[in-house]
Amino acid sequence: MSPKPIRKAVFPVAGLGTRFLPATKVVPKELLPVVDRPLIQYAVDEAREAGIEQMIFVTGRGKSGIVEHFDIAFELEQTMSERGKDLSVLECTRATPGDVIAVRQQVPLGLGHAIWCARAIVGDEPFAIFLPDELMVAREGGSGCMKQMVEAYNDVGGNLISVLEVPMAQVSSYGVIDPGASHGALTEVKGLVEKPPVAEAPSNKIVSGRYILQPEVMRVLEHQGKGAGGEIQLTDAMAKMIGQQPFHAVTFDGARYDCGSKVGFVEATLAIALARPDMGDAVRAIALDLLK
């Protein structure tokens, strides 16, 4: 029996973006552009590529611009049309009616709580989670992270998380899996450890901001107390599901940029600009000149 399809995705976007102040005082961090697309657009494009139909944004105060980004800007489009401008650049920002839903996380109680806020919309279906700070870029000619995960999910069902391999010296900054048997890019998950000391880390495979979870996780989150940092942690809820349902990790074949940090954001911007046919050569020349 095939697993239920992944039709819905949750995007927790209620954070304050304090690392990027003052830029994020008014503009949501998720709308900061990497070249000419905001972070949230990259995540939604990745979801659409994977066949996901409904985008659920868990927002907070001052984050309405994220939903508006996927609305039709009538005045803008009319003006562009009258001036003979190409409207195709806006196609990716147009959502089918009913395919973008916003719910409010009124109190910042952690990632687990943000996901729980979407429980009524998720219902009894498996769903994906995207952390837009983690910009996942497919290799040339390859598929995106979530599409790779959905293909694995169709084979094994259950719960999946994306992972990347990092040098062991870096594992204490991330959530790390305790791995079981591996088959290609797929690894059984026996446990999850949040930011372990290097000497105690069970592997160098870090959790990297993409998840496919069964709806039972909502029931776990509903009764879960606060964990690390005084917040309701998604990692704690997922750990309780290991052994109850199939749980695997998919090693992403592509590049990951940590756009939650300023350096990572600059790295992502430079990498994507260099890969663009319309600007790559010019940006490379600028970079080389600046490095002189």
- Is the predicted pLDDT of residue 241 greater than 70, yes or no? yes
Residues 221 and 117: their CA atoms lie apart, in Å, by: 10
Structure-token pair, residue 216: 């039972």
Q: What is the pLDDT of residues 74-115, one digit of tens each?
A: 899 899 999 999 998 898 888 888 889 999 988 877 888 999
* Pairing state between β 54-59 and 8-12: parallel
- Is the predicted pLDDT of residue 247 greater than 90, yes or no? yes
Structure-token pair, residue 265: 């954001």
> Is the alpha carbon torsion for 69, 71, 73, 77 positive or negative?
positive
- Is the predicted pLDDT of residue 266 greater than 90, yes or no? yes
pLDDT interval class at 131 (50, 70, 90): very high
Q: Is 44 helix (H, G, I), strand (E, B) or coil?
A: helix
Which residue has better confidence, 172 or 13? 13
pLDDT interval class at 228 (50, 70, 90): low
Q: Is 88 helix (H, G, I), strand (E, B) or coil?
A: helix
pLDDT interval class at 273 (50, 70, 90): very high
pLDDT interval class at 230 (50, 70, 90): low
Which residue has better confidence, 230 or 102? 102
Average pLDDT over residues 236-253: 90
Which residue has better confidence, 47 or 110? 47
CA 94 from centroid of its chain's CA atoms: 20
Using a pLDDT cut of 90, give the percent of the chain over it. Answer: 63
Check: CB of residue 47 under 8 Å from CB of residue 146: yes
DSSP string, 209-240: EEEEE-THHHHHHHT----GGGS--HHHHHHH
pLDDT at 229: 64
pLDDT at 45: 96
Residues in the chain: 292
Structure-token pair, residue 144: 């995106």
* Pairing state between β 205-213 and 127-130: antiparallel
pLDDT at 227: 65
- Is the predicted pLDDT of residue 116 greater than 70, yes or no? yes
